[in-house]
Chains A and B, each alone.
Chain A
Amino acid sequence: MKKQGPGTREQGTERIAKLLRAALPSFEQDGEAARDLWPAMQRRLQAERLSSPVRLHVPWFDWALAGAFVVMLAVFPAWIPVLLYYL
């Protein structure tokens, strides 16, 4: 093995690395799956789409507006009854 760094260059560390490689050889298996994984992927996509709730996207400007409104009511609480009257 090409020595990769000062850590593995240490003699004891190199010995244990060699032992580890002897115990657990490299998994040189081809990445090809025994079966086509796309059908499983499709099932997963469908299941997740059916189970996930519809998410409403609220623009940041709306959040800022709502925040400003709450701050305004906190600063001027006298406006609350007026607001309620007109709602």
Chain B
Amino acid sequence: MRDVAISPVEPVAAGTGQDLLTQFRAGSDAAFEALFRLHQRAVRGWIVRMVRDPGAADELTVETFWRIYRARERFDTGREFEPWARRIASRTALDWLRAQKPEYAVDSGFFAALPVDSHADPAVSDEIRRKTAMAFGRLRPALRIAATLAVIEERPYKEVADALGISVTAVKLRVFRALRLLRKDLQSQGITP
């Protein structure tokens, strides 16, 4: 498992952080702005992992914080802000993925946005990679998002479960189904993984 820090924000002093959350819950715009500036990087980082589109991630970060703002009265100040924000971000990303046309995931822009991986297996041809990515893009968003986070991004199942608001077992099941459907799709194209 890679040790990639999802939240690179500076830690806030406990008292100050608690005050900030209390003020935010009470409707303070200044507290909301402070929270936005403090957590936008972590929230955007989480979103970009799910949607794999930096341009859309900007828009979805704003949408996520808008939902956070609307739901502020339901926020439990005794809990941490970031897991709550991450759950809302996951729901926002899932809504966005559901609203996209299926071909979105397989158009040229999608591949252009992919990072260049110097560790890519040279034994896997570009054609197989492309077909695998296309088959993955045809999966249902709920399955795709679970597999993206757990398999591609290698986030722990517990973290994925918390972010998606489902159980660890449900995450494992979604990942298993996603990979099984992917294998079937590839087999139908003559690719045997």
Contacts and interface: CB of A to CB of B under 8 A. Distances in A.
A31 B46 contact: yes
B114 A13 contact: no
B44 interface: yes
Contacts of A41: 36, 62, 65-66
A5 B172 contact: yes
Interface in A24-46: 24-35, 37-38, 40-41, 44-45
A58 interface: no
A33 B36 contact: no
A4 B58 contact: no
Interface residues of A, number: 37
Contacts, number: 142
B20 interface: no
Nearest to B153: A26
A12 B128 CA distance: 17
A28 B139 CA distance: 23
Nearest to B5: A31
Interface stretch (A14-22, A60-68, A70-78, A79-87): A14-22
Contacts of A7: 172-173, 175-176, 179
Given A4-B150, A29-B115, A22 B129 contact: yes
A56 interface: no
A50 interface: no
B44 to A, nearest CB: 5
Contact of A44 (B33, B62, B124): B62
B99 interface: no
A18 B157 CA distance: 17
A40 B58 contact: yes
B175 A8 contact: yes
Given A8-B176, A19-B186, 15 more contacts: A17-B151, A20-B136, A22-B129, A23-B124, A23-B136, A24-B132, A24-B136, A26-B2, A27-B49, A31-B45, A31-B46, A33-B57, A34-B54, A37-B61, A48-B66
26 contacts: A8-B175, A8-B176, A12-B193, A13-B179, A16-B179, A16-B182, A17-B179, A19-B132, A23-B130, A23-B133, A24-B132, A24-B133, A24-B148, A25-B116, A25-B152, A29-B45, A30-B41, A31-B8, A31-B42, A31-B46, A33-B40, A37-B36, A37-B40, A37-B44, A37-B62, A41-B66
Interface of A: 1-2, 4-8, 12-13, 15-35, 37-38, 40-41, 44-45, 48
